[in-house]
């Protein structure tokens, strides 16, 4: 599926407009049960990230963090399509991808707060979320580092003939880093069961990707160099993401090799909580707010005949769950200082060095 990048010259860089018609996937072959699951996940990711932001403003979150507000459809669509034993590799903007694999909200919120009941005991924080139990093989703060690691997981699955797929999410800026090209080449040569998903939210931290990239589509336009199909999808439509994921996973599991997808989306806020996003051209944010993933999907459910009361019940249930997780996270104990010396070496401590 190819989407146009409708760009209009404005000041220092192009303003890219939202990609499509919100009704375009109304008749898509997605069961209603799956669609309700997708909507619940969209609501969970949106309400969780809003709560995380509120906690930032209360100075309860330790360190920096990067939210996925506006980008939820990618995590929801791909996470819903994965098998329980598939692998997720995420960037430092990994809250949504972690939750989409079924990791409890309490553990993630408590991790952001640095509490002992956090997913990693409060030691990993926002940028290093990991839950091997749920197939979340880490969030990586080094740009591009996890693409080659995802290849390793895919090679393991290939060797064991397990049918597992490694799914690696990364931002548009990663496409200009050597590891991106090395990982794609390696995966293509060895026909690894790995799916690379570029979350193109138009900005590399504070710089528009279009300002420093020779091609209009930073991931899709490079696919052919590695013998891969150029695939670009609507990253704000959960059905488009889900269907693309189902197709890509089937391709990878069949032994046909890797898949590279570029999902066009938009982050509503800045790069991190310290970034007000003032570099965005006037009108761009407003245009994308009108093409919001939750608005698109709620409208679709209503057009398909799902009662408004049923949709609202999902919203209310998610809100209650976020409140419950917040209370539990806040009530978590402060980690014992001795915990700093665990999980450092292979035996869980440093005593062997002495």
* Main-chain dihedrals φ then ψ at residue 70, nearest 5 degrees: 100, -15
Q: Give 257's Cβ-side CA count (13 Å radius).
A: 14
In a domain, 230, yes or no: yes
Confidence at residue 11, expressed as pLDDT on a 0 to 100 scale: 40
Q: Are strands 166-171 and 136-140 parallel, antiparallel or unpaired?
A: unpaired
The answer to whether residue 348 is domain-embedded is no
Q: Is residue 4 part of a domain?
A: no
Helix 32-57 and helix 293-303, axial crossing angle in degrees, nearest 10: 150
Give me the pLDDT at residue 354, please. 56
Q: Does 343 reside within a domain? A: no
Both tokens assigned to 22: 């919100």
Provide mean pLDDT across the span 170-197: 97
Torsion of CA 278, 168, 249, 295, to 10 degrees: -20
Spatial CA neighbour of 99 closest among 62, 139, 61, 70: 139
Sorting pLDDT into bands at 50, 70 and 90, what band is 340?
confident
Q: What is the mean pLDDT of residues 69-88?
A: 98
Mean pLDDT of 160-165: 98
281 within some domain? no
**In this prediction, what percent of the chain has a pLDDT beyond 70?**
93
| CATH classification of the domain holding 136 | 3.40.50.970
Range of the domain at 122: 30-273+287-327
Q: According to the model, what pLDDT value does residue 172 have?
A: 96
Taking 50 as the threshold, does the pLDDT of residue 126 lie above it? yes
Residues in contact with 227: Cβ distance below 8 Å, sequence separation at least 6, in sequence order: 188
Condensed to tens digits (0 to 9), the pLDDT of residues 269-283 reads: 877 767 777 788 888
Q: What is the pTM of this model?
A: 0.93
Is residue 52 classed exposed, middle or buried when 0-12, 13-18 and 19+ CB atoms within 10 A define those classes?
buried
**Beta-strand runs (E) in 106-177:** 136-140, 166-171
- Mean pLDDT, rounded, for 188-207: 95
Please determine, for residue 345, whether its predicted confidence score (pLDDT) is greater than 90: no
CA distance 79 to 31: 16
Q: Is residue 342 one of the residues assigned to a domain?
A: no
Please report whether residue 8 resides in a domain. no
- 200-215: average pLDDT: 91
pLDDT given at position 9: 37
Q: Which of 104, 122, 124, 121 shows the shortest CA–CA distance to 113?
A: 122
Q: What are phi and psi of 118, to 5 degrees?
A: -75, 165
Is residue 216 predicted with pLDDT exceeding 60? yes
Q: How far is 129 from 131, CA to CA, in rounded Å?
A: 7
- Using 50, 70 and 90 to split pLDDT, how confident is the model at 8? very low
pLDDT at residue 7 tops 50: no
Q: Per the domain annotation, does 21 fall within a domain?
A: no
pLDDT score, position 350: 60
| Pair type for strands 259-264 and 136-140 | unpaired
- Over 80: is that where the pLDDT of 298 sits? yes
Q: Is the pLDDT of residue 307 over 80?
A: yes
Per-residue pLDDT, averaged over 209-216, amounts to 92
User: Using 50, 70 and 90 to split pLDDT, how confident is the model at 10?
Assistant: very low
pLDDT, tens digit, for every residue of 26-78? 999 999 999 999 999 999 999 999 999 999 989 999 788 889 999 999 999 99
Q: What number is the average pLDDT over the span 213-232? A: 96
Q: Reduce the DSSP state of residue 41 to 3 states and report it.
A: helix
Rounded to a whole number of angstroms, the distance between the first and last alpha carbons of the chain is 59
Measured distance CA(171)–CA(202) in Å, rounded: 9
How many domains, the chain? 1
In the chain, helix, strand, coil percent, each to 5?
45, 15, 40
Cα(88)–Cα(36) distance, integer angstroms: 23
Q: Check residue 349 and give its pLDDT.
A: 60
């Amino acid at each position: 599926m190819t989407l146009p990048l409708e760009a209009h010259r404005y000041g220092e860089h192009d303003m890219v407009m939202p990609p499509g018609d919100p009704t375009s996937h109304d008749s898509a072959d997605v069961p209603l049960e799956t669609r309700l699951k997708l909507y619940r996940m969209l609501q969970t990711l949106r309400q969780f990230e809003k709560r995380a932001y509120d906690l930032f403003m209360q100075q309860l979150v330790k360190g920096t963090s990067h939210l996925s507000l506006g980008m939820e459809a990618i995590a929801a669509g791909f996470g819903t399509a994965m098998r329980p034993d598939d692998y997720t590799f995420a960037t430092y903007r990994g809250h949504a991808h972690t939750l989409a694999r079924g990791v409890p909200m309490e553990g993630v919120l408590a991790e952001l707060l640095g509490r002992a009941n956090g997913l990693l005991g409060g030691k990993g924080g926002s940028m290093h979320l990991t839950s091997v139990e749920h197939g979340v093989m880490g969030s990586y703060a080094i740009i591009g580092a996890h693409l080659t690691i995802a290849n390793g997981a895919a090679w393991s699955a290939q060797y064991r003939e397990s049918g597992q797929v490694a799914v690696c999410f990364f931002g548009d800026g990663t496409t200009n880093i050597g590891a991106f090209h090395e990982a794609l080449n390696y995966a293509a040569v060895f026909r690894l069961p790995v799916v690379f998903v570029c979350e193109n939210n138009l900005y590399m931290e504070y710089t528009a990707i279009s300002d420093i990239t020779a091609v209009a589509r930073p991931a899709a336009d490079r696919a052919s160099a590695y013998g891969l199909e150029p695939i670009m999808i609507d990253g704000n439509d959960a059905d488009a993401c889900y269907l693309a994921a189902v197709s890509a996973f089937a391709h990878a599991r069949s032994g046909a090799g890797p898949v590279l997808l570029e999902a066009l989306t938009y982050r509503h806020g800045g790069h991190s909580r310290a970034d007000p996003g003032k570099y965005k051209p006037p009108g761009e944010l407003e245009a994308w707010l009108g093409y919001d993933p939750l608005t698109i999907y709620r409208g679709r459910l209503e057009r398909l005949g799902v009662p408004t009361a049923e949709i609202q019940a999902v919203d209310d249930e998610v809100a209650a769950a976020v409140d419950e997780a917040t209370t539990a996270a806040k009530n978590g104990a402060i980690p014992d200082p001795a915990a700093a010396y665990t999980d450092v070496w292979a035996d869980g401590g440093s005593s062997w060095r002495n």
